[in-house]
Structure 1
Amino acid sequence: MAEIDPSAKIGNNVTMDDSVEIERDTHIGDNCVFGKKVVIEKKAVIGNGVKIGDDTVIEKKVHIGSDSTIGTKVVITKKSSIGKGVTIGNNVVLEKNAIVKDNEVVPDGTLVKEDTIFRSDSKKNDHHS
């Protein structure tokens, strides 16, 4: 059985491997899928329809928007925020207070520095001012 703190709120139709660990005061939406060895620390908030790959750590007070996909071996450090419809590749690290806006794609192996907002290169060229 997965290790889930009794104070955690888990939505409907959530699928997770037995090796998953969910800490206290965590909120998880409906229709989420978590791989093997996923750790979700206290007070994290995960939206509906989020998929999290194997060996991923979601630290405390992280917010992940609905319909986002997180790859394998990802570390999202505390107080980071991920928008809706985001795709995060494998082996990605988001440092403390990092922000990924809605519908962004974070490529494999990316490091998003502390207190920064991730923007994919394609979006930088799209500004019509």
Structure 2
Amino acid sequence: MIDPTAIIDPSAKIAENVEIGPWTLVGPDVEIDEGCVISSHVVIKGPTKIGRNNRIFQFSTIGDETPDLKYNGEPTRLVIGDNNVIREGVTIHRGTIQDRSETTIGNDNLLMAYVHIGHDSVVGNNTILINNASLAGHVIVDDWAIISGYSLIHQFCRIGAHSFVGMGSGIAKDVPAYTTVQGTPADAKGINSEGLRRRGYSKESISAIKKAYKIIYRQGLTVEEALVQLRILAEDAPEVNVYIESLESSTRGIVR
């Protein structure tokens, strides 16, 4: 299961059925749970904890220290959940003590080739980051979000649940839940209707989310004014509460 050319630190904790390909390096303070498949020429450094049934492709670097100049060798962590696919050349850095001390990847995510996830970022569940998408430090990506290829996310931004970032976008503000954005700088284009349909949202739910979008983007309201109307709408359409939470949690202002 472990190729004889792989270099495994004696302190690494690796489940018995983990596969590790040739010329892969697994350093100290690394834990890899059962069912994982690690291809050739992968570098995994610790402290890093990798959950079950993850697949990591060749030339990825997982758990290396951040180049952030604040970092001074502290024992920060990377934690990866279960059932993730991490394709070729992906880089994921550990955290810094100035923030969370941890970078976190959830479950069932697809990180395509050459994606970069910077220090202290949090990626939720069921997200897709397409080729060369890059997260600066301190970014949050909520569940089911999709970030298209060559898109750049500024530090401290939040990408809301079920949102869609179009290809080649530059994101410098928060993207609300359900919203499709594109451009550099990005602006809002509508809601992610196709994604919601694929996930089983009813016509009524999608209609309510469209109404919420129009309240935010088509009535010339401030965010505070829009929230008043959204809370009324949410009384009969609970899915709008996800929109409300993403607006209330915004610290950088929203893409508009």
Would the TM-score normalized by the shorter structure come out above 0.5?
yes
User: What's the CA shift string for 1:65-106, capped at 9, x where partnerless?
Assistant: 011111111000113210011111111011111111012111
The one-letter amino acid of 2:118's match is E
1:27 aligned onto 2:31 = yes
TM-score (structure 1 length as normaliser): 0.92
Q: What's 1:77 paired with?
A: 93
Q: What's 2:52 paired with?
A: 48
* Structure number with higher relative contact order (C-alpha < 8 Å, ≥ 6 residues apart): 1
User: What's the CA shift string for 1:4-58, capped at 9, x where partnerless?
Assistant: 0000000121111121100112110001111121010021100010000110001
Q: What's 2:127 paired with?
A: 104
1:47/1:64 contact within 8 Å kept:
yes
Runs (5+) with no aligned partner, structure 2: 65-76, 96-102, 147-161, 164-176, 179-195, 197-238, 242-256
Pick the structure with greater CA Rg: 2
Runs of 4+ in 1 over 3 A off after TM superposition: none
Tell me, in whole angstroms, the C-alpha distance in 1 between the residues paired with 2:50 and 2:13.
Answer: 10
Runs (5+) with no aligned partner, structure 1: none
Cα shift at 1:111: 0.4
Higher helix proportion? 2
Tell me, in whole angstroms, the C-alpha distance in 1 between the residues paired with 2:23 and 2:240.
Answer: 47
Q: What CA RMSD, in Å, does the superposition of the two structures yield over aligned residues?
A: 1.5
Tell me, in whole angstroms, the C-alpha distance in 2 between the residues paired with 1:13 and 1:26.
Answer: 16
Structure 1 vs Structure 2: percent identity of aligned residues? 25
Tell me, in whole angstroms, the C-alpha distance in 1 between the residues paired with 2:140 and 2:112.
Answer: 16
Count of matched residue pairs: 129
